[in-house]
Structure 1
């Protein structure tokens, strides 16, 4: 006697794909800022359509990684708090990271 469960093969394929995607993410990943902070993310959590617009509106000139790193953390946290749905940069970064991982895993 055999039992056939409808949709199990599709589910099995999805689990296999999820595992493959997770394996590809294993280790350290350097993610370009524009992939981390997508237009969709920025439009959902800020009044800006892009990360570039977010920085252009800021009181700092941010053209390089060094420019970004030179911004005083407390001042940037205040800017994030005033211009996003997040209290500080770390919280915003974590949210963007979670969304990026979900996209990479194929989770909607």
Structure 2
């Protein structure tokens, strides 16, 4: 098989993997924020080594505290301690990275 044939076969394998992962994510799902905000994402884009340590710094220790935490305070904390201007920006970027890692497709 020549180089083009090998490249085509590799590309086909990547597409199959992406299709398989995307079909697993089809529909409504709950995602673990510690998985979305992976340690590598957090150390690359924030002053924290984990999403949990970021939340602790906000005084958040459980889901109900996270749900009740004012959006404006969360945005301020994100703006002061990360490369992002808001929590929504940070979440969108983290989710794109998560999808890229799962599917092999660059969503950025």
TM-score range, shorter chain: 0.7 to 0.9
Task: Structure 2: give runs of 5+ residues left out of the alignment.
Answer: none
* Cα distance in 1 between the residues matched to 2:10 and 2:75: 45
Please give the TM-score of this superposition, normalised by the length of structure 2: 0.84
* Cα distance in 1 between the residues matched to 2:74 and 2:53: 15
Q: Deviations for 1:66-102, whole angstroms, at most 9, x for unmatched residues?
A: 1001111111111110011100111111111111111
* Cα distance in 2 between the residues matched to 1:25 and 1:74: 30
1:81/1:5 CA distance change after superposition, 3 Å: closer
CA drift of 1:5 comes to 4.3
2:36–2:94 CA contact under 8 A, matched in 1? yes
* Cα distance in 2 between the residues matched to 1:10 and 1:98: 23
Larger-gyration structure (1/2): 1
* 1:71 aligned residue (59, 69, 72): 69
* Cα distance in 2 between the residues matched to 1:10 and 1:45: 31
Q: For residue 52 of structure 1, what is the aligned residue in structure 2? A: 52
Q: Aligned residue pairs: how many?
A: 103
Task: Structure 1: give runs of 5+ residues left out of the alignment.
Answer: none
Indicate whether 1:88 and 2:73 are aligned.
no
Secondary structure, aligned partner of 1:30:
coil
Q: For residue 28 of structure 2, what is the aligned residue in structure 1? A: 28
Runs of 4+ in 1 over 2 A off after TM superposition: 8-11
